[in-house]
Chain A
Amino acid sequence: MAPPVAVSPLIKTARYSALIAGIIYGKRRYDNLKPIAAEERRVEEAEKKVRDEQERIAKELREGNLTDLNPPCQLFDLQFDMLIAKCPNPTFSFFYSLFTASEDTILK
C-alpha cells in the first residue's frame, strides 16, 4: 500500500472551513424556507376549499337538486377567506374576524 500523503495545511483548513460554512448555510436556508412553505400550504388549503365548494355547487346545479339555498354566499365567504390567506394584513384580518364573529351571534 502506498504511504498516506501529507496533506498541506492550506487544503486541510480550506476543507474543514468549507464544511462548517456549508453546515451554517444549510441550517440558515432551511430556517428561512420553512415559514415560506408553511405559508404556501395555508394559501393552497384555502384555495382548495374554494375549489371544492365550487365543484359541489356545480354538481348540485347539474343534478337539479338545489336544496341548499345559500351556496353563492358560502362561496363568497370562502373566496374572501382565500383572499385574506393570500395577503394577510393584521388590522384588516382583525376587523374581519370581529365582523364574522358578530355575524354568527346575530344569525343565531
Chain B
Amino acid sequence: MAQAVQKLVAKVPSLLGAAVTYSKPRLATFWYYARVELVPPSPAEIPKAIEGASSLIKSFQSGRLGQITVKDAVRNGLVATEVLMWFYIGECIGKGGIVGYDV
C-alpha cells in the first residue's frame, strides 16, 4: 500500500508536465477567441446596445417577425438561450455552489 502511494507520488511531476503540454495550445486557442468574443462591453458600446434593443422592439411591433427565415429564427433562439444560461451561471456564483443551496 505504501509502495503504491510512493510510486504514484513519484509519477505526479511527469503527469503534471504532460497535462501542461496538453493544455497549453488549447488554452492559447481559447484565449485567442475569448479576447475578442468574451470581453465585457466597453462603456462606448452600451448606447449601441440600447439602440440595438430598441430596433429589435420596433421590428417586433412592425410585424417583421413573419419574414425571418427559420434558419435565422433558430440561430437567434440559440443566442437567446446562451444569454439566459449566463444568468444561471451568475446564480451559481451568487449562491456559492453548483447544485442546490448550501443552507
Hey, which bits of chain A sit against chain B, CB under 8 A? Answer: 1, 4-16, 18-30, 33-34, 36-38
Contacts and interface: CB of A to CB of B under 8 A. Distances in A.
A37 B86 contact: no
Q: Is the interface of A mostly helix, strand, loop or mixed?
A: helix
Contact of B33 (A4, A16, A26, A38): A4
Interface stretch (B16-24, B66-74, B95-103): B95-103
Nearest to A16: B40
A22 B49 contact: no
Nearest to B90: A22
Contacts of B93: 22-23, 26
B32 to A, nearest CB: 7
Contacts of A12: 39-41, 45, 49
Interface in B51-71: 52-53, 56
Interface of B: 29, 32-33, 35-37, 39-41, 45-46, 48-49, 52-53, 56, 79, 82-84, 86-96, 101-103
B88 A22 contact: yes
A34 B35 CA distance: 38
Given A12-B45, A26-B93, A29-B95, 8 more contacts: A4-B35, A13-B45, A16-B41, A22-B89, A22-B92, A27-B94, A30-B96, A37-B103
Contacts of B37: 4-5, 7
Q: Is the interface of B mostly helix, strand, loop or mixed?
A: helix
Contacts of A16: 40-41, 86
A45 B46 CA distance: 53
Contacts of B48: 9-10
B91 A26 contact: yes
Given A4-B36, A9-B48, A9-B52, A23 B86 contact: no
> Top 4 closest A-B pairs, CB basis?
A22-B90, A26-B94, A10-B52, A37-B103
Contacts of A21: 87, 90
